[in-house]
Amino acid sequence: MKTSIAKRVLVAAAAGLISFSAVAQDKATSLDQLLKMVQQSKIAESKEHQQREADFRRQKANQQSLLTQAQNTRASEEARSERLEQKYQEQEVLVQQKRQQLDERLGSLKELFGHLTSTAGDLRANLDSSIVSAQYPGRTEFVDTLIDKMNSATKLPTIEEIERLWYELQRETVESGKVVKFTGTVIKPDGEQVEQEVVRVGNFNLVSDGKYLEMSDAHKMAELIRQPDGKYLSMAADLQAATSGFNPFGVDPTGPTGGSFLKAMINSPSIVERWHQGGPVGYIITAVGVFAMLLAVWRLIVLSGLSAKVNAQLRSSTPNTNNPLGRVLAVAEENKGIDGETLELKMEEAVLKERPAIESGLNLLKIIAMVAPLLGLLGTVTGMIITFQAITIFGAGDPKAMAGGISSALVTTVLGLCVAIPTVLMHTIVNGRAKRILHILDEQSAGIVAENAERK
């Protein structure tokens, strides 16, 4: 073994010498300098090898002592393991005996504890979601402690704890039918915590300062960021200010299960929010609809005034040029002596001059009534394109997001119909007024022509 170690040391020294000589050839400037560097390197390496051999001999001497120490430790640990295993077997037999003794002594109480554990578990689930816990915090901690004790093999619940479990069951039932006031910490939407009066309506709703509250998982009360309609808020304020009697109040019937109905109601967009969902196309449709209504109202007022003047002219025998009929009659007065055909042409010309002023705006109302639904369809198509692009990018994993996008796209169609329907109605009314005036003009002009023909 010593011979092999020596061979390895010589091989390593020769490799180091060769590598050093290769490096020295790069740095030496003469053969004498190179020889001197090789000699110095050989002396230094021989000292290093001697030191390594001394270290090897010391480690070899220590190996025997370390091996002996490890063997002694192993023997002692094996003996300790045997003692512990024997003690474990003895303890296991004793534990089985104690468990059997415990089961015999419990008897029917074991079944009772099973029912108590099941009841406590159901009560804990109810207390976690009950808004009564906002008024009476700390009830779930007691139930958790009781459940852990009944599931333990070394502890038993006391009579006081069992009676308190029954009391908590009864209190939850009684409190769910009360409307009470208490002082609690309310978290505002900006994160500020305020001590204020809170009204609890059974196990359904919490209101404070005229606002609806929600209860977090930590049984903390927080003011809803979005509130229901103003009428519900006013009823909540009236209920908080009341001291007795009956008061109307908007109760959320799904309150004990998380208040899903109230959340759905307050998360539904308002009319203004729906209008904003229409986007630029919706704004254009709204502007067109407002313009159509103003135009229709203006023409209706103008035609009503003309109709009143025409009716007054019908009752008068003197032509008045402040109305279409008076101007037509004035043309007849100016051309009394002409023949019938010429008079007829003159009268038709006078009626034709009055027609544009009377029918002004009617064609524009008709065009708006036709274009408004098309604008709504345009907004719907563009909205659907955006929705399908979002589905392409993010997938169709959320049906609510898809339904929301489609609902927003259909808003423009609703706006278009809301503009077109009243515009059609107003066009019909205004057109009827205009045709009535034109009918009177045609009737009077035809009568004048007929009367002139009878004279001749």
Q: Who has greater pLDDT, 393 or 412?
A: 412
Give the bridge partners for 214, in sequence order: 222
Q: pLDDT at residue 81 above 80? A: yes
SS3 state at 158: coil
CA distances from 279 to 323, 387, 449 (A): 46, 14, 58
Q: Is residue 6 predicted with pLDDT exceeding 50?
A: no
Position 53 scores a pLDDT of: 76
pLDDT digits over 194-231, tens only? 899 999 998 888 999 888 988 876 778 888 888 887 88
User: Per-residue pLDDT for 258 more than 70?
Assistant: no
> Facing residues of 194 across strands?
186
Task: Confirm if 183 and 195 have CB atoms less than 8 A apart.
Answer: yes
Confidence band (pLDDT; 50, 70, 90) for 370? very high
Distance in angstroms (rounded) separating the CA atoms of residues 350 and 341: 14
Angle at 270 between CA 268 and CA 276, to 5 degrees: 110
Residue 422 binned pLDDT confidence (cut-offs 50, 70, 90):
very high
pLDDT at 289 over 90: yes
Which range is most confident: 10-19, 33-42, 169-178, 291-300?
Answer: 291-300
Question: How far is CA 12 from each of CA 1, 3, 15, 49, 118, rounded to the nearest angstrom?
Answer: 17, 14, 5, 10, 78
Is the pLDDT confidence value at 241 over 80? yes
380, 377, 354: which is closest to 434 by C-alpha?
Answer: 354
In the predicted structure, residue 17 carries a pLDDT above the cut 70:
no
Whether pTM > 0.85 for this model: the answer is: no
Is residue 443 classed exposed, middle or buried when 0-12, 13-18 and 19+ CB atoms within 10 A define those classes?
exposed
Average pLDDT over residues 154-177: 86
Among the residues of 152-254, which ranges form H helices? 159-175, 230-241
The single-letter code of the amino acid at 326 is G
Rounded mean pLDDT of 75-101? 86
Q: How far apart are alpha carbons 236 and 208 in whole angstroms? A: 8
Q: Which of 1-15, 105-119, 157-171, 391-405 has the lowest mean pLDDT?
A: 1-15
User: Residue 372: its pLDDT value, please?
Assistant: 94
Measured distance CA(98)–CA(110) in Å, rounded:
15
3-state secondary structure of 227: coil
Residue 429 near residue 314 (C-beta atoms within 8 A): no
- Dihedral sign for Cα 38, 44, 50, 56, please: negative
Whether 39 has a pLDDT exceeding 70, the answer reads: no
- Would you say residue 277 has pLDDT above 80? yes
Is the pLDDT at 140 greater than 80, yes or no? yes
The residue whose two tokens read 């002692």 is: 76
pLDDT band at 141 (very low <50, low <70, confident <90, very high): confident
Percent of the chain with pLDDT strictly greater than 70: 85
Q: Mind listing the pLDDT tens digit for each residue in 308-365?
A: 998 888 888 788 888 888 888 888 888 877 877 888 888 888 889 989 999 999 999 9
